Structure 1
Amino acid sequence: MTTLGYHASHEQLGPVALLDAVQLAERVGFTEAMCSDHFAPWSTRQGESAFAWSWLGAALQATSLRFGAVNAPGQRYHPAIIAQAIATLAAMYPDRIWTAFGSGENLNERITGDRWPSKDERNERLEQSVHVIRELLAGREVSLDGRVRVDRARLWTLPQYPVRLIAAAVTPETAAWAARWADGLITVNQSDAALRRVIDAYRDAGGGGAVMLQYHVAYADTHDRAVREAHEQWKTNVFAPPVCWDLDSPEAFEAAAQHVTPEQVQGSVFVSADASAHVDEVGRMLELGFDRVYLHQVPNDQQAFLEMAATHLIPAFAEISA
């Protein structure tokens, strides 16, 4: 089933404002949402980064939306703790939570004081972490002495329904590798050709489940305002791997982005003041092969975007989402 969802960006809005936004998203017709899970924002201008797991409990209680979160277990988070967090939320809100796992960014993971491993090491650590989480969610006791260490862990509160463990991937190589352990895939804005390669790599490697997209958009009352606000908020988020993986602070991202132009940002954010253009763009992403599209309004004005969604986006895709 095709689904249109709303993305809640913890790096840009404080937790109270973000809770207001997801409640409004439900009122205008969204049935699904997802959120980021970072320790730091990508820039000082964004300026927020609340703890996603505390917030998810409030958001699940305050709405009837299904929620997902993107998480990087293994360094900042021990996988047994993430398994416990998932199990608790899933027990309280059955069949309303999923988690996507990635190998992380130095920006967030360095806070432990441990070294930032190579991508191959991070992938190995991630696969072991997901194995630990899956085993714990199934009610089994886990011990492991590998990239992560676990000593006789067992969850005593378990979910009633299975929880989907999704892979977060930007490159075809990571997508193909993740196909062996993931229940689905999520990626982010790139060129159509790059997105098609990611989808094909995952499917060709035997990957099952839904293929999802977190899609950055900028909507405002004028095109110039949409461009300006997309550039102000997202110019630090245009860098391809490994730069986006390896920079270690908001200030480092800002230094790298000092010459990024508004035109370059539009390679990572779909910018338009025309509601029908947003409808067409979402339709194009669905035609590209995505089962679920989660829309991230990059400008801080969430109300304007959600009101537009109520009158244009939600009605346009209501039939295929039913």
Structure 2
Amino acid sequence: MTRFGYTLMTEQSGPRSLVDYAVKAEQAGFDFEVCSDHFSPWLASQGHAPYAWSVLGAVAQATTRAELMTYVTCPTSRYHPAVIAQKAATMQLLSAGRFTLGLGSGENLNEHVVGDGWPTVAVRHDKLEEAVQIIRRLFSGELIDYSGRYFRADSARLWDVPDTPVEIGIAVSGARSIERFAPLADHLIATEPRVDLVRKWRRTRPDSSRCIGQIPIAWDRDENAAIRRARDQFRWFAGGWAVNADIPTPAGFAGATKFVRDEDVAATIPCGPDLDAIVDTVSAYWDAGFTDIALVQVGDGSQQDFLDSAAGPLLEKLRHAAPR
């Protein structure tokens, strides 16, 4: 059965609001909740970037059923992989086994802030591979030493290890990254409904692993208001990840997307009150073979109305249309 999630988007909401939305999303019937991990918003108009791991800890205590996940965190620049392992193990304990660690190679926007520069894609992938190796070894609860090209871990051990192992999802973008990271991951993460990714993943991992996608929507009672909001706060999405990974600041994203028009955004993000149109757009993910699909409702000001009025009926339509 296709599972549907709600995105706790730290770039567009403050921490207390995110916890409140997480509770309401669980009540609305979402199966899981994913949380972005940002130091900066994509655009200044979004206006937020609270610390994701504090938010997730609070959400773990405020919810009881929905699975939780980072979507995604980078374990190579702002954070040392040993610290990520400790945070993930703690989240698994706090959530009573509901947490999945979503990892990726990161974006310049968030990682440059510690002053270590921004490496090439090849180096980012090398660092991610080492980081996952360290995290996996620490999840065992054993004392470890690790000496790699980019990271060291000296006499490191996790003292609070959950009985339910933390599963790891890794963001991939093509055949090479799947070949490299599928053996290290439990689940695939991707932000485009590409059947080639899923097919390659299933050939590499013919098991019950999940393929987890994410899609923005801009539900609103007023279609024009939805389009304006989507352009104001989500036009950065039009750049694609090959571009988005390298721009370092919200001002850079504003400059790079200043010529994106309302109609450009409306062509890629379903906007307005038509739930059937949203279902039709989301269907590209289950048609491509994704098992889990997280929705991003664009705009903080729209969250309350969306969760109170639209989320339940939308989930009903999605589950009726999706493969069982």
Matched residue SS, 2:296: strand
Distance 1:33 1:94, change over 3 A: same
**Structure 1 unaligned spans of 5+:** none
Residues 106-134 of structure 1 deviation map (CA, whole Å, 9 limit, x = unaligned): 11111111121111111011011011111
CA distance in 2, matches of 1:316, 1:211: 17
Residue aligning to 2:292: 292
Match of 1:175 among 163, 174, 178: 178
1:24-173 alignment to 2 at 5 Å?
24-64=24-64, 65-69=66-70, 70-146=72-148, 147-173=150-176
Matched residue SS, 1:317: helix
| Structure 1 stretch displaced more, 298-307 or 38-47 | 298-307
Distance 1:81 1:285, change over 3 A: same
Contact 1:184 1:207 in 2 (8 A): no
Residue aligning to 1:305: 306
Distance 1:320 1:230, change over 3 A: closer
Contact 1:176 1:204 in 2 (8 A): no
1:197-276 alignment to 2 at 5 Å?
197-206=196-205, 208=207, 209-276=209-276
Q: CA deviation at 1:316?
A: 4.7
Contact 1:42 1:237 in 2 (8 A): no
Residues 20-63 of structure 1 deviation map (CA, whole Å, 9 limit, x = unaligned): 11111112112310110011110111110000101111001011
Contact 1:94 1:160 in 2 (8 A): no
CA distance in 1, matches of 2:248, 2:206: 32
Contact 2:46 2:299 in 1 (8 A): no
TM-score between the two structures when normalised by the length of structure 2 = 0.92
RMSD, aligned α-carbons: 2.0
TM-score between the two structures when normalised by the length of structure 1 = 0.92
Distance 1:148 1:270, change over 3 A: farther
Q: CA deviation at 1:171?
A: 3.8
Q: CA deviation at 1:137?
A: 0.8
Contact 1:23 1:63 in 2 (8 A): yes
Distance 1:167 1:278, change over 3 A: same
Residues 84-115 of structure 1 deviation map (CA, whole Å, 9 limit, x = unaligned): 11111212322210011100111111111112
Report the number of matched residues.
318
Give the letter aligned to residue 5 of structure 1.
G
Contact 1:173 1:201 in 2 (8 A): no
CA distance in 2, matches of 1:50, 1:171: 31
Residues 129-174 of structure 1 deviation map (CA, whole Å, 9 limit, x = unaligned): 0111111111122222221121111101101101110011234443
> Matched residues, percent identical?
35
